[in-house]
Every structure is written in structure tokens, then in C-alpha cells.
Amino acid sequence: MDAPLATAPGRAALIAGLAAALTGSTARAAPAIGGVVARPPVELGPEAEAAFRSAAAEFSVGTPEAAPVDPARQQAIGAALSALQKGEQAYLEVELRTAEKALRAAVDGLLADPTTLADAEPAQRAVLLLAQVFVAQRRPEAADEVLERAIGVLPGFPGDGVPPPPDVLARIEAARARVKADAGAVLRVTSEPAGRRVRVNGVPVGRTPVELDAVRAGTVRVMLATRGAVPRSRVVAIRGDRVDVHFADPATQAAALRASVRGGEADAGWAAAARLQADAEADQVCVAVVDAERAVVARLDAATRSVRGGVSTAPPRDADGFAALGRYCAPQAPSDLAPGEVVDALWPADAPPAQASGGFGQTGWAYTALGAGVAVAGLGTFFGVRTLQKADDYNDGRLADRDEVLAEARAADITFGVAAVLAGVGAYLLFTAPDDDDETGQDH
């Protein structure tokens, strides 16, 4: 026989678990993965990079904090959920006064700080049912008041999955119009790439790019779902008429970090690492550099430009070796390098500036040939004009020597021929140049 669900300890444990889930209060994801940089003569294949990232990602499992939720807040949310359960039961039993009292407590508890909610579905249920109770009691002003409160702090209310009762549905749009007229701001959320699911204060509001109006001044938490990774979230202050929130692609910042390591540009590297760390909602960044003599894995707190740890090991030779290298990204991994040694391994003080692969490069020679062709064509045009002028002089009898006209014509023909050859060579070099000929090197 199943254990009864109504036992006090069982219900308390269930409510506590729901409260923790609603606030999403587990540890932040760590670290953000910057990838691997190979220095000549080492070359990396896609399998090596994938092995490193896969192993490093083992330490990025979890859900980012929806907010720094303290135990008192979780206890308050647990009490609100218990009140919601009591209010729903009372409504089903047509005990409207009891339902109103319980649902008011649920709404007050859940909406006290909506930025702590990773999922606002219980809060929406409480608001909609309380509004329905007020409608049933023929108190439309009270229903409008609770709806306006919810719309103001839960942008996108009511979200998908919580259909409003028919008697409440018509009142929601009217309440939204009043909130919008009362200095409501527009909140626009975009991301790279587009199409990511968005929650604002726990309410699902669609996929990026998404725009919400009637957002009241204050703070909201915007959470972005990412495919195959933990969600990313950001607390945003709502001020003025419009607020734009953009989630950049961490891969772009990771590529910039690797480029800085290849070029020995420390300032650019710290800046790229800081953007990667912030955009990935991580507390540190992990990047590795491999040369012929050793491999160094660095763990950086780019927000404070400090080194969390670093380890030096033999350069890996296969995918398993790069996987082992990725495990040094663990926050608790051992460290055998001083902070200065880690920074110097990434961005040596005497590192040469980044240059295009192959020196001047085929693309550079292509544009040089094309430019020379244009210049020689201009010279040919000069000789051609002189040929026409001297031909006119010869025909009018002002010039007796015909050979002088022919000499100008030959000079024009030769220069136009040289210009054509240079243009052809330039075009050939340009269209056959490697794709990365004008870059600082291939990303790894």
C-alpha cells in the first residue's frame, strides 16, 4: 500500500524541494571553456579540440543561480506554495473566503521578489485563481488590481502552459493596457544565435529576438536557454522607455581569447576572457596552450584579472591526452605554476606580434599585381592618347615622320599588354589564395 501523501513530514519535504527547484539555487557553472591554442610546430586537429572541450565540460554541469537565494527566501517560497495548495483545494470546495486568504498569501510570497524565480508557473496559477475568486465574488476592481500587479512584475504574464480562466482572460488585456500607459518600458532580448528560449522572472516569453512591453521600472531576471548547456541568466535594471538585453555568442569571445594567445596580446586576452566569463555566466575561464615542449592549462578569473590556477604537463599526443588536459580545468585541479608563470605562458612578454600566415601572403601579392596592372594601364592610356594626337598631326601635314607615330602606337600596345598580364596574374593569385591567407592563423 502506498504511503499517504498528506503526512506532514512528507508534505514539508515536497514543498522544500519545490522551493529549491523554483529558485534554481544550485552552484554556478564553472568554468567557461576558452579552448586550446597550438604554437608551431604543433598542429591541432578537430578531434583534439573536441576531446579537450568534452573533458572540460564535465565540470560545467549544473544550473546557474537564479539569484543569491538565502534560506529565509526559500522558506518563504515554501510557505507560499503550501498556501497555493490550500487555496486551490478551498476553491474546488467553493470556500471562496478561505481560498482568497490562502491565495493572497501565495501571491504575496511568490511575488515578493520575482527575480528569484526560475519558474513562475506556480505564481501565475496563484494570480489567475485569485483573480477568478474576486470575479466570482463580484469584486472586479480587486481582480484588476492583482492582475496589474502580476503584469508589472512578471513580463509576459500569463506565459505558455497556464491558460487563464475565461472570466479572467478579457480582464488581462485591459490590465496590460493600463500598465503600459503607466510608464511601462519595452524590454527587448536578443541573442547569438537567434531562436533561444527566454524566461523573464521565470515566465516563458518566447524565442529570441523577443520584445515585451508594459514592463514596470525595477529589476528583472532574464534567463536564456542554450542548447546542450546550462541556461544563462542576467539581472537587468528597467529604467526609461526601452531596455535592450543581448546575449553574445561565447564562441566568438573564446575565439578572440585564442587569437590573443597566438599574438601575445595580454590586454586583448584579458578583455576577451572577461566577456566570455560574463556571457557564459561562469566564475572562471579555462584555456590551454600547447607547444613542442609542454602544455599549460590556465584557469583565470578574468573579472578580477587574477589566476585561479595553472598546471604544466607534457604535450599530449592523441585525443586521450587532450581529454586528460581538459580535466585540469576542474576548479579543484592541482596547480604547479605561479600566477606570473601562467600569464607568461599565455602571453609571453617577448612574444612577436601576430602576423598573417606566410609573411606577405598570396593575397598581398595578388593585390600588388592588380595595382601594378592598373598603373601600367594608365601609362598605356597616356601612350594611346599621344598616338592619336600624332596621327592627327601626320594626317594634317604638321608631322612628316610616320615612324614617330608607329613608335607611340607600339609603346601603347606593349604597356596595355603588360597591364593585361599583371591583371591576369593578380586575379589568378586572388582566386587561388587559401581562405585563411589573410588571417593571423587558424582557430583551434
pLDDT tens digit sequence for 145-158: 999 999 888 888 88
- Could you tell me the CA-to-CA distances from 239 to 82, 187, 242 in Å, in that order? 34, 10, 7
Question: Rounded to whole angstroms, what are the CA distances from 169 to 147, 172, 213?
Answer: 10, 5, 18
Mean pLDDT score, 163-185: 84
CA–CA gap between residue 342 and residue 297 (Å, rounded): 8
What is the average pLDDT value for the chain, to the nearest integer?
Answer: 80
3-state class (DSSP) for residue 172: helix
Q: Determine the pLDDT at residue 384.
A: 77
Confidence grade of residue 351 (pLDDT, cut at 50, 70, 90): very low
Q: Which of 84-88, 183-187, 425-429, 439-443 has the highest mean pLDDT?
A: 84-88
Res 322: pLDDT: 94
Q: Is the confidence at residue 315, as pLDDT, over 90?
A: yes
Sign for the CA dihedral angle at 15, 17, 18, 20 comes to positive
Residue 364 has pLDDT above 90, yes or no: no
pLDDT of amino acid 434: 52
Say if residue 444's pLDDT is above 70. Answer: no
Of residues 437 and 370, the one with the higher pLDDT is 370
**Looking up cell 606566410, which residue turns up?**
358
Helix axes 166-181, 140-153, angle to 10 degrees: 60
Q: Which bin fits 312, alpha (ψ -120 to 50), beta or left (φ > 0)?
A: beta
Confirm if 202 and 117 have CB atoms less than 8 A apart.
Answer: yes
| Sign of the Cα pseudo-torsion (134, 140, 142, 145, in order) | positive
Q: Is pLDDT of 135 > 50? A: yes
Q: Return the C-alpha cell found at 99.
A: 481560498
pLDDT computed for residue 257 by the predictor: 92
How crowded is the C-beta side of 11, counted as CA atoms within 13 Å? Answer: 11
pLDDT for 439: 39
Q: Are 286 and 330 in contact (CB under 8 A)?
A: no
- Reported as type and span, the H/E element at residue 237 is strand 232-238
Check residue 431 and give its pLDDT.
67
User: What is the structure's pLDDT at 276?
Assistant: 87
Q: Binning pLDDT at 50, 70 and 90, where does residue 241 land?
A: confident
Question: Which strands form 210-215's sheet, in the order they lie side by side?
Answer: 210-215, 185-191, 242-247
Q: Which three cell numbers stand for residue 114?
A: 520575482
Measured CA distances, 199 to 21, 80, 81, 115, 226 (Å)? 15, 21, 20, 11, 12
Classified as helix, coil or strand, 64 is: coil
Q: Given this model, what pLDDT does residue 165 score?
A: 87
Q: 106 falls in which pLDDT band (50, 70, 90)? A: very high
- Burial of residue 97 (number of CB atoms within 10 Å: 0-12, 13-18, 19+): exposed
Confidence at residue 402, expressed as pLDDT on a 0 to 100 scale:
75
Give the span between the Cα atoms of 253 and 263, in whole angstroms.
15
Residue 197 cell numbers, joined: 528560449
The whole-number average pLDDT for the span 260-285 is 87
Three cell numbers at 127? 494570480
pLDDT band at 17 (very low <50, low <70, confident <90, very high): very low
Q: Across the strands, what pairs with 306?
A: 301
| 36-50, 320-334, 344-358, 367-381: the lowest-pLDDT one | 344-358
What count of other Cβ atoms lies within 10 Å of the Cβ of residue 383? 19
Which pLDDT band holds residue 433 (cuts at 50, 70, 90)?
low
Pair 83, 109: CB distance under 8 Å: yes
What are the residues facing 188 on neighbouring strands? 211, 244
Does residue 27 carry a pLDDT above 70? no
| 105-121 mean pLDDT | 87
Q: Please say if the pLDDT value at position 419 is more than 70.
A: yes
State residue 361's pLDDT score.
Answer: 60
> Does 157 or 438 have the greater pLDDT score?
157
Q: What is the mean pLDDT of residues 414-428?
A: 79
Question: Shortest CA distance to 379 belongs to which of 416, 331, 349?
Answer: 416
- Can you give the pLDDT at residue 178? 86
Task: Find which of 11-15, 79-83, 274-278 is predicted with most confidence, using mean pLDDT.
Answer: 79-83
Residue with cell 529604467: 239
Average pLDDT value for residue range 70-77: 83
Entry pTM:
0.53
| H or E, element range at 253 | helix 250-263
Local confidence band at 298 (pLDDT 50, 70, 90 cut-offs) = very high
- Give the residue from 47, 16, 33 showing the smallest Cα distance to 299: 33
* pLDDT value of residue 228: 52
Q: What is the DSSP code string of 27-45?
A: PPB--EEEEEEE-TT----
- Per cent of the chain over pLDDT 70 is 82
pLDDT, greater one: 30 or 62: 30
- Of 173, 157, 174, the C-alpha closest to 122 is 157
Torsion of CA 147, 149, 151, 157, to 10 degrees: -60
> What is the C-alpha separation between 287 and 269, in angstroms, rounded?
11
Taking CA atoms, 212 is separated from 110, 195, 245, 285, 365, in Å, by 22, 16, 12, 33, 52
Check: CB of residue 296 under 8 Å from CB of residue 27: no
Beta bridge pairs of residue 312: 296
What is the C-alpha to C-alpha distance for residues 60 and 55, in angstroms, rounded to an integer?
A: 10
Q: What is the pLDDT of residue 146?
A: 94
Q: Which of 88-97, 214-223, 258-267, 412-421 has the lowest mean pLDDT?
A: 412-421
